[in-house]
Chain A
Amino acid sequence: MDASLSLRGIRKTFPGILAVDGVDLDLYPGEIHALVGENGAGKSTLSAIAFGEMRPDEGTVTARGTVGLVHQHFELIGRLRVWQNVLLGREPHRGWRIDEGAARERVLAIAQRNGLEIDPNAFVDSLPIGVQQRVELLRELDRDPTVLLLDEPTAALAPAEIESFFATVVQLAARGTAIMIVTHKLQEVIAYAKRVTVMRHGKVVERVLTAQTSIDAIARAMVGGAVPAVAARAPTELTPCLHVKDLCAGSGATQLRDFFLDVRGGEIVGIAGVEGNGQSTLADALAGLIEYTGIIERSGTMSSIPQDRQREGLVMNWSLVENALLGRQHRKAARRGPELDRMRARADTQAIRERFDVRAANLDVAVRTLSGGNQQKLVVGRALIDTPAFVLAYNPTRGVDVGAAALVQSRLMEARNSGIAVLLISFELDEILTLADHVIVMYRGAVLGSFDRDAFDRAAIGRLMAGSS
């Protein structure tokens, strides 16, 4: 059988990083092919090259027909309507004028053909994230692709939505489309994909039929060995730290509604929820960045690990030393009169570097030159170095390689063991179930349920995350 898409000898370098190193890949019609690898393995880069929006330094891409790509971070225009997003570049028109009626009809037609529901007239930024992804999918489907690439398609979907998503995908494959899913969710790979390609450090390290492999085998191939373990949980004495009640903040789809929460020193409380249900509003309210009504009582100092390190946590052109000060520069210990205490700052940075394994040539290189994992370790180290009473960790291992993720999770556990109160907001349910003593499920800005560790029920949590009980 002829491949619908063939990549041969693909090589791509970015400044200082070899992202893809001599990769061959074939996608066949009617097959679902999974591309797995940890963060930084080169999967998204390869997808972009296969789609054609990035050119490889070396190698060829041969495709029969059109290639579509649904990005991990949607490329949509929030302020425009669904039909405008779907049909941009292919707008139906009468003379010079866009034919809006025809446009709306066409969007409804594709949606129906693929068993999807959508309102063509809605503004994209008014839609929940799971539905927004549908818009991007429709845009690609309108081009009648022979090959469809999906990059982390279920990252922002509730467990129930994931099922219906894959129903659509399976139907597409049955009609002959060659499908590639880039993912790190191995259960989905085993359940739905026919073939798996594993990438590590830009190279293909394994090609196998899913029928002939297992989750463990794939995981080991991804990491190149055993997955590092997280620090052990120790018994702790709980002390009151954070008390939240009747918290209302924000507006629109992500507003908080009578949120309540208690986090004590010596425990990790996890907030489980699908992206877009008010987690950012909660984090901002707790950090004092937005206005709120209700009660937030906290004893002791607080530090945060923001969810977007590059935009919210670091000044990319600054050195490690200067970044290690960010958020800590107003403390009395950090200053000498109007000046910053530079010796102290360097010492602190060195301590963070050692304890959190931040790999950098020296303390004065720009943070921009560090890998994502090392940047994140710096941010986490900075949050923990002053031994705060309370730490807010928001997606602390997002976009980070497995080794760095394990270290970050270990340090959070150790912080908990030493009596710090940790609030963990994460879109990865597995991370929460591994680390938390107590889970709260968040849906549309409200608390829908809570579970203690000894009563964790993954299925029930999943249902609550989707809003049903």
Chain B
Amino acid sequence: MNRYTRAFAGPLGAIALIVVLMSLAMIVAGTSPIDGFTALFVGALGGRNEIGETLVATTALLFPALGICLAFRAGLFNIGAEGQLLVGALCAGALGAALTVPGPLGIFLMLVAGAIGGGMWGAIAGWMKARFGANEIIATLMLNFVAAAFALELVSGPLRGPLAAGAETAWLEPKYWLPALLPGTRLSIALLFALALAVLLQWVLARTVFGYDLRASGEAPEAARRSGINLGRITWLALTLSGAIAGVGGATIVSGELHRFNTQLSPGYGFTAIAVALVGDLQPLWICLAAFGFGILESGGLAMQASAQVPKDAIHVIEGLIIFVLAARRYVATRVEGTLP
């Protein structure tokens, strides 16, 4: 039976599963799958605006997915990408609202702020795991809620933009907006940054000593420890970098997409990114492809909802099923909770 699941659970199997399940959802909603899928693809790729939106979603998913991938390869399960993304976005938005430097420098500083914010958020969990053996799954998830609470508090009060209608930071001056990649759409050059990051991550994992140490820690922690690798340091670094990457992603959403920060900026990207990372088989370059696929689902889903009556929440159920099925691949060498790494 295991051979069956292994073939089934590969990325191709995941795609097949998506198609089957979505067809079911469409039938339940009273639409034929052909109409449904047509609506989906037209909604995602049918025109310049649509492609732009799909790629915006792709970018927003790609950053946290790369971060999650990095953590996973180190044997760590980061389900806090949503919170890390939020904190990074908040830092970028708050800084951007207060800056007066030239445009490019401002954008750069915002991205750095995003990395620092998200990195800090990841570091908390990383430190807790390295120092206390605290379960990083619970820690990162708790931090999601803490981030949401703090962020809401800050943008309702001290960080609220003076002219803002709701709880959000001030609109960024246009010079601080990431340049558009596809003029007329919301797509910024952040996509290029994300792709470059994927290539960089692939290089780090496959070719560098740090990547070697990281992978060893994830696949065989005891052998890694005995070979002189400092597991605590790797743990802490992996979660911090993971958070930083998600944080940069949040910053690009603020600078390139929304041009301000509010707490609604992510419709669960941090969680969908888990599915993206797994479908991409934890390889940065494949993850780019997976992010594009999920980007189609996210942006086409709205169109599908409008014309084919299939609620976009169906997509989240499908994402969950994909993750569940891919669990058969056994990505993370299970480590016992509560003990020091």
Contacts and interface: CB of A to CB of B under 8 A. Distances in A.
Query: Do A and B touch each other in the complex, judged by CB within 8 A?
Result: yes
A335 interface: yes
B220 A315 contact: yes
A338 B223 contact: no
Contacts of A334: 209
Contacts of A313: 223, 226
Interface in B131-145: none
Interface stretch (B93-101, B102-110, B211-219, B271-279): B211-219
B184 interface: no
A329 interface: yes
Contacts of B223: 311-315, 326
B210 A289 contact: no
Contacts of B207: 339-340, 342
A316 interface: yes
B209 A306 contact: no
Interface in A307-352: 311-318, 322, 325-327, 329-330, 334-335, 338-340, 342
Contacts of B210: 338
B219 A315 contact: yes
Contacts of A167: none
B209 A340 contact: yes
Contact of B216 (A306, A315, A340, A342): A315
Question: What size tier do the contact residues of chain B reach?
Answer: 10 to 19
B334 interface: no
A312 B226 contact: yes
Interface string B106-132: 000000000000000000000000000
B228 A327 contact: yes
Nearest to A382: B227
B220 A314 contact: yes
Contact of A340 (B208, B222, B226): B208
Interface in B15-64: none
A313 B212 CA distance: 15
Contacts of A326: 216, 223-224, 227
B213 A287 contact: no
Contacts of B227: 326-327, 329
Contacts of A306: 226
A396 B195 CA distance: 47
Contact of B209 (A287, A289, A315, A329): A329
A407 B224 CA distance: 26
A426 interface: no
B225 interface: yes
Contacts of A330: 209, 228
A304 interface: yes
A425 B222 CA distance: 20
Given A313-B226, A327-B228, A338 B219 contact: no
B334 to A, nearest CB: 14
Nearest to B203: A339
Interface in B216-255: 216, 219-220, 222-228
A55 to B, nearest CB: 16
B222 A338 contact: no
B220 A316 contact: yes
Contacts of A318: 219
A55 B224 CA distance: 35
A304 B225 CA distance: 13
Contacts of A340: 207-209, 212
A304 B209 contact: no
Nearest to B225: A289
B220 A304 contact: no
A329 B212 contact: yes
A306 B212 CA distance: 20
Contacts of B226: 287, 289, 304, 306, 312-313, 327
A305 to B, nearest CB: 11
Nearest to A315: B220
Contacts of A325: 212
A324 to B, nearest CB: 12
B218 to A, nearest CB: 9
Given A330-B209, A338-B209, A340-B207, A312 B222 contact: yes
A316 B333 CA distance: 12
Nearest to B207: A339
Nearest to A334: B209
Nearest to A322: B212
18 contacts: A312-B222, A313-B223, A314-B220, A314-B223, A315-B223, A315-B224, A322-B212, A327-B226, A327-B227, A327-B228, A329-B209, A329-B227, A330-B209, A334-B209, A338-B209, A339-B209, A340-B208, A342-B207
Given A334-B209, A340-B207, A340-B209, 19 more contacts: A289-B226, A304-B226, A311-B220, A312-B222, A313-B223, A314-B223, A315-B219, A315-B223, A325-B212, A326-B216, A326-B223, A327-B226, A327-B227, A327-B228, A329-B212, A329-B227, A338-B209, A340-B212, A342-B207
Nearest 9 interchain pairs by C-beta: A327-B227, A315-B220, A338-B208, A326-B227, A339-B207, A315-B219, A312-B226, A311-B222, A312-B222
